[in-house]
Chain A
Amino acid sequence: MSLLHWAILAPFIMAVFVPFLRKKAATIHTGWFVLILPVVLFGIFLQYLPVTMNNSSIIQTASWIPSLGINFTAYVDGLSLLFVLLITGIGALVVLYSIYYLSKTKESLHHFYVYLLMFMGAMLGVVLSDNVVTLYMFWEFTSISSFLLIAYWYNRDRSRYGAMKSMLITVFGGLMMLGGFLVLSIMGDTFSIRELAAQAPELNNHPLFLLAMILVLLGAFTKSAQFPFYIWLPDAMEAPTPVSAYLHSATMVKAGIYLVARFSPIFAFSGYWFWIVGAVGLFTMLWASFNAVKQTDLKGILAFSTVSQLGLIMSLLGVGAASLHFESLDDNIFTTAVIAAVFHLINHATFKGSLFMVVGIIDHETGTRDIRRLGGLMSLMPVTFTLSIIGAFSMAGLPPFNGFLSKEMFFLSMIQLMELNLFNVETWAVLFPVMAWIGSVFTFIYSMIIVFKVFTGKFQPEKLEKKPHEAPVGLLVSPSILAVLVAVFGLFPNLLSYSLIQPAAAAIVPSIIPPGEHLDVHISFWHGFSPELWMTIGVITVGILLYKFMPKWTGIYDYFPGKVTLNQFYNSGLYAAERGSNAITNAYMTGFIRSYLVYIFAFFIAALGFAIWAKDAFRYDASAAAPIGLYEVSLIFVLLAATITILLAKSRLTSIIALGAVGYTVSLFFVIFRAPDLALTQLVIETVSTALFLLCFYHLPKLSRHEEKRRFQAGNAIIAAGVGIIVTLIGISAHSSKLFASINEYYIENTYKKAGGENMVNVILVDFRGFDTLFEIAVLSVAALGIYGLIKLRLEKGGETNENE
């Protein structure tokens, strides 16, 4: 356990103490104590920056289950450090924001911070784990803590619905991912991601390669809300706004991005990876940005915009895989895509975090998030307005903010695809920049909606629950810091180039970088009149036009039938699954013991019959058979006659008497086959049980005491005959194939010599194998006690004992 491990576990340890802090220091907002931790962690992890800038990495291993090869291996390289800084940095800002957002008295703060710390620790574990099993463990921790955080206001119906939905979808993906990890570890015979990446070329030719890739991608796509799994994210907006800002914009949804980036060195050489990741990402971007425009809830818009931006990053990671197919680094244009992905990842975390916080402020100060009720807040909330302008303009991709730069690089990567002559891209290549461009136009429109529908236009105080005013300073600090970062990264992008972006990009595509060299990351603000600039100008022009004439064309959303949405599909799917399994269960769990006996016996016949047939196990060998005497035959006829009488009897009494006759005949068989002890016992037991049957017969209730013949049912007859035939066949086969001699010689020799008895049956019962007898006695005692208890101990409906009736 090194400092690194303690840093990962620190949030979990802190979470244990949060309830005590809440109780013992009730006058101080619990958040202040919690705030210390992410700040300290951020400071600790900043110290690793010089290490990763040199493209080196740190590995610390702590044994967990060494015998299975599962160790808690923490691995810091450029990619994980980037994520760690995002998690702790934005974590600190979110905690600070939540101190002012959540009321000290009305909310159960200890729950909130326990869940949040659990999530933070889990997220650190995800991005720092080198072992896939530990990675999976932390991955599920993020799902669980996210579930808890979404349902923080658990008395609301929508919160619980959203929490369950996100749980079902992300856990489904998590389990698929576990499958992928296991397949990978079978292929590579190791759990370590680095060691797997080292043998990537061999894994590429493995027959299980595609299966592993699809399973891992399912995990990544569900977590990162890609098409068609994005549906949980808009419903997760029922969580408190700090949670939405932290989990559902900056960290958890990027876990899938992290996974794709982390496994790029293993999978990315394959053409499937390029197509699946690139196409799904791009389509998600287009689809979600298109849908974001029709939302009326501010958080709904932001949720869809998050999905869309994640799709953008995902598509860049997919397209960046093309860079692996080039030999030299100098003319490798596709590394731009990887760099753009990393850059946009940072940018998105900053501007989306601040936008969520801005929406939280608007909600907090006006009482609503509905854009139809908001308007004209510009003069009332000037600071919030400024922050939202910075965030939204950056999201739209306008200069001078950082979104502009990454959007330009996004366009550039998509245009460059047209030059690619791999994976049959040629015919479809033109679609990539077109889809990217259309998606960006919609992004521009919804970004403008966030700013102008809320802050300009007519002020409608009568529709608001509170009198709006500027937020307190504390609430504004966190979004301000993020907004400043948005502007700073926009104006001086090269602050990030070699400190964060280059090491992270190098970790995504390590195989193309020769030792001792660096990727050339120079993000220039102005690079002449290139095609991507014209595309941006086009986005702005068309976007402004479409925004101006929005009422004219938003009617097209009505053409989308409500019945074929993915949400509808999810809901009816759940409903159908529940109803279907109910129907199936009700169909065979009839509640009648008769049906269950039919299943049991039918299975008995099928299984044993199949075994006899498949193994050709039937034998008939009469050589060991004894001669049959006349009296055996006549006894058999007696037995048969009595048995048939039981089946065909009209009255129960006849059946009971016939059963007694069967029992006596069996005892006569014992006599013939020379078993006097068995015959004695059988006679007594038969008499007693016949008497007991008579007792039961007498106590049958009057109403249903019909003396009628049993109804004949063909199914029952077939099953009964089947069981009889199968058992007979098995008996004959078993008797015909004796494999070794009996051990009875030993007993015959030693009954008198060693045990001092002459009755061999009794000596076996109490001496050679007395243990069985002991427990037979126990069985009889239990039966007697049970009967006594059943008769005497009667619990009435009220629960009182009635012992002396």
Chain B
Amino acid sequence: MARSATVSQRTKIKRTAPRGFLRRVFKRYKPHLRLEARGDLLVHLSCLLFIRRLAEESRTNAYENKCSIINKDHVVDAAKVILKKSRG
């Protein structure tokens, strides 16, 4: 595997929520609905938990296949499980 095709870990992450981005996405899908103040933070929270579950699931998949990097297929398999779990 060529080195350039992989993305290594970042050591530093921001914990601030991209609030404007979340509001824009919500408006794009539902232009006729209003999002209450602080609602975007809860949307951020749910995204955070979704990403966390997805990451853990794909890590487990990669581990089972004895891969040291996360493959596309691992993410696809994880997404099937986690998107099913996170239906409203």
Q: Do A and B originate from a single complex?
A: no
Residues of A in contact with B (beta carbons under 8 Å apart): none
